[in-house]
Structure formats: C-alpha cells, structure tokens
Amino acid sequence: MNLIIDAGNSLIKISVFLDKTEIHHEQFAISEFVKRIKQVFGAYPNITNAIISSVGVLDKKDMAVVSLFCEVHQLTNKTKTPFKNSYATPETLGVDRIALATAAFYHNPNSNTLVIDAGTCITYDMVNDYGEYIGGAISPGIQMRYKALHQQTAKLPQLEKEDLIDFIGNSTETCIHSGVVNGVSVEVNGIIEQYNHRFNNLTVILTGGDALFLSKRTKNTIFANPKFLLEGLNCLLEYNKK
C-alpha cells in the first residue's frame, strides 16, 4: 500500500493506493499536515511506502514525520524515471512535471501525449512515441492572471473565475473575465493545435485544479483527469521500489 503526497503551491493533496487503485484521497492546508498524516496512517496501517513531491512548501520536519511510519522517497530531479529525459536543463525540471511525464508514459505507452496541468501555473509537457520527454511550456494560471490584473493596476478589482456569457465584455468585470477565461481558452486551444500539427495521433490530457473548468472550453478532443499527477507519482514510487 502506497501513500502519495503532492505538496503544491496552494494545497497538500494525498492519496492512498492499493496497487494501481486509489482507495483514499483528501486535500488540506499545509498547517494541517502533521495531524492529517497521523490520521491516514491510523486508518491505513498497511502503508509501507510513501513518495513526496513538493514544490518547496514542505520543510524537513514535515517530511520527517512521514518517515516515522514507512519508507519514504522524496521526488527530485535525480529520481530514476521510466522515460528518457531530453530536457536541456534536467536539474531545473519541476517535480510536478516529472510526475506528469511519468503518468503520460504509463497511461499512453508508445504514443504521443501532451499533458496540460491547469493549476497555479499552466504547464504543457510532451512525451513522444519513443517514450522521450522533450519539454513543453509554462504560463500563468487562471487565478494568477486575475491577481496580476488587480495587484499590478490601480483600480481593477480582484475577481474569481466564472463562466462567460459572451466573449465581448460590456463592463469592467465582464471584460476582465473575458480577458482571463477566454484568453486562457484560446491559448490552450492554440497550443494544442500547434502540437497536433507536429505530432501524429496526439493524445491530450488535461489535469489540475482548473481541468474541469477548462475542459468545457476546449474544441479539441481531450481527456480530463484531475488526479493524473497523483497517478504518476504512484507509478514513480512503484518504479523506484524495483
């Protein structure tokens, strides 16, 4: 039984996997980490291995708590991966992107796969049909765009994402919503088209906190899987156990 810990920019997400099946999932603020980890091990005492993917929000004391209960693998850019990593600067590749590339490698073997992770940032990660990770792109996420418009201007309000009635805004608020939501949608669709022109039989997987929100706005055939990163982490853990 595996414990998967994804410490993102906003929340901690954890899952318990029995082989390839997720049997428990929850998410919470970092301040609750120690309490929630103890509760999970109390509920699932058969957990023998854990993997931690952290973008920097967890400190060593938090990670040490997990090691009291089981064997722990901390995901880094030196972790052994099943795919060939052709990134020019592998030492700078984020652990979240490593996990997504792993999920793509196992989910869609010997095929061209583009993974779009719509979270704090929107990342694009490409694994080709040779099992090779070749890179992608990073751009601001939806909430980051809303915050930037508010924080870097004098009068624009802070808004939360919502569905568009029309892409032509007729007030300051609807213009902001159009600029952010329609802008992101056009970006995602345009980038998918670029990849479609270069790679045959491309599979596109959309994941992350805004995956379901954006999936309604893509004109391309995609597969929305909000837990794709967690599945990739479980595959990485199994791969490194061997």
Confirm or deny that 6 is annotated as ligand binding. yes
Confirm or deny that 135 is annotated as ligand binding. no
Which residue in 59, 62, 96, 129 is the catalytic one? 96
pLDDT at 90: 95
Q: What is the pLDDT of residues 132-153, one digit of tens each?
A: 999 999 999 999 999 999 999 9
Q: Which residue has the higher pLDDT, 186 or 8?
A: 186
Query: What does pTM read for this prediction?
Result: 0.92
Calculate mean pLDDT across residues 185-213. Answer: 95
How does residue 3 score in pLDDT terms, banded at 50, 70 and 90?
very high
Confirm or deny that 155 is annotated as ligand binding. no
Confirm or deny that 36 is annotated as ligand binding. no
Q: Walk me through the domains of the chain, giving residue ranges and CATH numbers.
A: 2-74 (3.30.420.40), 84-233 (3.30.420.40)
Calculate mean pLDDT across residues 217-242. Answer: 90
Q: Minimal CA–CA distance to 52: which of 230, 241, 239, 242?
A: 230
Confirm or deny that 195 is annotated as ligand binding. no
Is there a contact between 235 and 106 (Cβ–Cβ < 8 Å)? yes
The 3-class SS string of the chain reads CEEEEEECCCCEEEEEEECCEEEEEEEECHHHHHHHHHHHHHHCCCCCEEEEEECCCCCHHHHHHHHCCCEEEECCCCCCCCCEECCCCHHHCCHHHHHHHHHHHHHCCCCCEEEEEECCEEEEEEECCCCEEEEEEEEECHHHHHHHHHHCCCCCCCCCCCCCCCCCCCCHHHHHHHHHHHHHHHHHHHHHHHHHHHCCCCEEEEECCCHHHHHCCCCCCCEECCCHHHHHHHHHHHHHHC
Confirm or deny that 31 is annotated as ligand binding. no
96 noted as active-site residue: yes
Q: What is the pLDDT of residues 17-76, one digit of tens each?
A: 999 999 999 999 988 999 999 999 999 999 999 999 987 678 888 889 999 999 999 999
pLDDT at 204: 96
Does the pLDDT value for residue 177 go beyond 80? Answer: yes
Calculate mean pLDDT across residues 206-225. Answer: 88
Does the pLDDT value for residue 154 go beyond 80? Answer: yes
Confirm or deny that 87 is annotated as ligand binding. yes
